[in-house]
Amino acid sequence: MSLTFIEILRRALDEELARDPAVHLLGEDVAAGGAFGVTSGLAQKYGAQRVRNTPISEAAITGLAVGAALCGLRPVLEIMFIDFATLAMDCLVNQCAKYRYMSGGQLAVPLVVRTQAGAAGGAAAQHSQSLEAWFVHVPGLVVVAPSSPVEAYGLLKSAIRLGDPVLFIEHKRLYTLREELPADAELPQIGKARVARAGTDVTVIAHSAMVRNALEAAEELARVGISVEVIDLRTLLPLDMTTIAASVSKTHRVVVAHEAVQNGGVGAEIAARIGSELFDELDAPVIRIGCPFSPIPFAPELEKALLPGTASIVQAVRELPG
């Protein structure tokens, strides 16, 4: 039976709650299922002590989660939209990301912050942003962005077991996707990218929902004889340069694609590192694809016109010299 992205996340959380009594869920309305229904039914199964509703205060509940993690629990905190992680930035950036370093390894913060990002149709400027680059800038945090339901299942379980603070970013546009969950679904290593499609002519590096666009673009380009290798980053911090380097050394051309605004995005870091570490492997400049420097509009037609997608990747690959 196929499961949606939401249902697979719920199964991963259910299994981790059953496996480890230190795992607790908390956040606004999580006992009622959360903003998108991911935690539906878990409060009835595990009780209000382990699936706990909180006040609407991202700063307060993040502080609560960090304290619980320091005291030996493994909290999974839901912040409804990554836009509102801005209200928890002090705790995330200045506190939980620093404890292991400042304590000489004596303290750990085994915390997962689940949050939703990306534009999904008419949610407007305050509920549609992709802010992952802000957190990739912070030593001590881990940033994960799954691209499919099955990927989300394994990566969420790996994140809960990791023992360090993880920002787990779920793209809202992926929530309705369905996949079969294999009985032997792997638990991917945090910090390890995957080759989602092998190719020989150009490497497209993407994460989250843009991986699907990259795969669609690869199918379209294959029909005109262009072989595209697609790298699904999975983890944005730490970045798997080993997998990237192996691909670039094979294809010698690179497109980096993400939904976030291009200015200061994750793609800029990847392009810079490829340019400095793999310059001799390149036969063309690295091309970046991202959203224009604009807030996400409310009107669905304007949102669709603004966001990069499959056509953007196809165009960029076709424009590569050689």
- Which of 7, 16, 28, 58 is an active site residue? 58
Question: In this structure, what DSSP letter does residue 209 have?
Answer: T
Asked if 222 and 273 count as a contact pair (C-beta separation under 8 A), the reply is no
Tokens of 190: 């945090």
Q: Phi/psi zone of residue 93: left (φ > 0), alpha (ψ -120 to 50 degrees), beta? A: alpha
Please choose, from the candidates 5, 168, 155, 154, the residue with its C-alpha nearest in 3D space to the C-alpha of residue 75. 168
| Known catalytic membership, residue 170 | no
Active site residue 269: no
Q: Between the CA of residue 16 and those of 10, 40, 128, 183, what are the distances in Å?
A: 10, 15, 29, 16
Check 24, 127, 171, 252 and give the catalytic one.
127
Please give the distance of CA 171 from its chain centroid, rounded to a whole number: 7
Alpha carbon of residue 189 to chain centroid:
14
Closest CA to 317 of 231, 181, 243, 222: 222
Question: What positions carry a catalytic annotation?
Answer: 58, 127
